Chains A and B, each alone.
Chain A
């Protein structure tokens, strides 16, 4: 190594050290990105795939499911079991029992794609905990829907449309 390149090595190396120090100092003063997990949780993204759940129709406050069992047939691992009954005076069947075997579910989403009524969706539940196996191989989605319904309030009646639309004011 020539003397010149040796000097270049030393000064170049020292400069790179200073650049490294500047970068870390820059990070030092930036916002902290840690989420303090049990006290703070992240909002799950739109496309997050938790176990499936029945959709609560915001207008009727009931499930949209008609127990057509298309999801049951679409499921590659046969982990869905739907049963329905025709209620008095109703045109279609409605779901009475919806069991999901989450232990074999691979979250492929075929059931959701198969559903013609948009009655099932992926939930945003990610911290799924249970004390026994039964909590997962017979997840009762109808019961979960009943729990969800407690927080449901019927939407306010739509306001009557004004008789004559307002003229936009001249600027």
Chain B
């Protein structure tokens, strides 16, 4: 029996089940508590305390909210496209879960290390937009349809600079394997891609992308736009479109959209951490991996610290800036982000080619 449990296929299946449960729990808890963090953040930025009534410091608020959502009826209004209307929320959450499978949270903490992890994350990340589009279309509601149209146009605009940035990063790192990308950034914050791109301290020469901080900024802005966060939340512009594509959704199918949205934020910030901020590597020279299990744990904590710092920035931005107008949003992408990301891509290509020629 023991031998059977220790056999290779069983271990793989066990690992898959453990990670499946862990990822779903992680996404669920994250969505719940990020909503609390969001509301607390909103309060603190406006000098209010945020939710404080349920539990100590309002810590049980997400559980109360979740119970309320589960207890509500999922209404499918007459005239909607029933099938699409029902599968759209799942379609929102599932790609985000798929992305989380390959993200390396620590040197051993990852669902599956795929050698095209980067590609996989961004291909699944692009599916989320379909969910909102289909949900909005199937709702048979004018606001939802307007929102669906907006989100398509917004995502087309922001997918381009996002992928150009990813291509730049791919040229810099030379791999699509997320674990390898993190591995390259070992040994202190000056080795993280955001700085190593400018000056390579290990090799003692210029890095591959002199505009690396700009690249990071473009990535971050596109991430905000792709996850429909303020100031780019045109899809859910509540002052114009009621609730956008989610207008007709009620109860837990609406909750799934919400979970998917927050899962996407987690994925986006994780990718920013992996690509630019050294993943689970420590900011000072020590390598936690060499300490065994404890080191892995420290690595995971470092990763989460970096990720949540980025998420805090996302919340901070939301409660600072008003929503852009739609032409402002498109202008930003087509007139500024795409040219700039193209320039960084060309510069990176030129630098790498020059180095290869010499």
Contact = CB atoms under 8 A, between A and B. Distances in A.
Interface in B41-93: 41, 43-49, 52
Interface stretch (B263-271, B273-281, B313-321): B313-321
Contact of B47 (A20, A23, A32, A36): A32
Contacts of B321: 17, 20
Interface in B296-338: 316-317, 319-321, 336
Interface string B2-17: 0000000000000000
Interface residues of B, number: 15
Main secondary structure of the interface of A (DSSP, over half): helix
Interface in A49-98: none
A146 B119 CA distance: 81
Contacts of B46: 27
A21 B336 contact: no
A31 B47 contact: yes
Contact of B45 (A10, A27, A33, A36): A27
A14 to B, nearest CB: 9
Interface in B147-171: none
A23 B44 CA distance: 13
A27 B47 contact: yes
Contacts of B317: 21
A86 B336 CA distance: 89
A25 interface: yes
A24 B44 CA distance: 9
Contacts, number: 34
Nearest to A9: B336
Nearest to A17: B321
A168 B317 CA distance: 66
A29 to B, nearest CB: 8
A24 B45 contact: yes
A33 B47 contact: yes
A20 B320 contact: yes
A10 B336 contact: yes
A112 B103 CA distance: 74
Pick the most buried of B45, B48, B316, B320: most chain A CB atoms within 10 A of its CB. Answer: B320
Contacts of A34: 47-49
Contacts of A23: 320
A28 interface: yes
A4 interface: no
Contacts of B48: 32-34
Contact of B320 (A10, A24, A31, A36): A24
A17 to B, nearest CB: 7
Contacts of A169: none
Contacts of B319: 24
A87 B11 CA distance: 100
24 contacts: A17-B321, A20-B321, A21-B316, A21-B317, A21-B320, A23-B320, A24-B319, A24-B320, A25-B316, A27-B44, A27-B45, A27-B46, A28-B41, A28-B44, A28-B45, A28-B316, A32-B43, A32-B47, A32-B48, A32-B49, A33-B47, A33-B48, A34-B48, A34-B49
Contacts of A17: 321
A150 interface: no
Contacts of A20: 320-321
Contacts of A47: none
Nearest to A31: B47
Contacts of B45: 24, 27-28
Contacts of B44: 27-28, 32
B256 to A, nearest CB: 31
Given A24-B319, A24-B320, A34-B48, 17 more contacts: A10-B336, A17-B321, A20-B320, A20-B321, A23-B320, A24-B45, A27-B44, A27-B45, A28-B41, A28-B44, A30-B47, A31-B47, A32-B47, A33-B47, A33-B48, A34-B49, A36-B52
Contacts of B49: 32, 34
Interface string A84-118: 00000000000000000000000000000000000
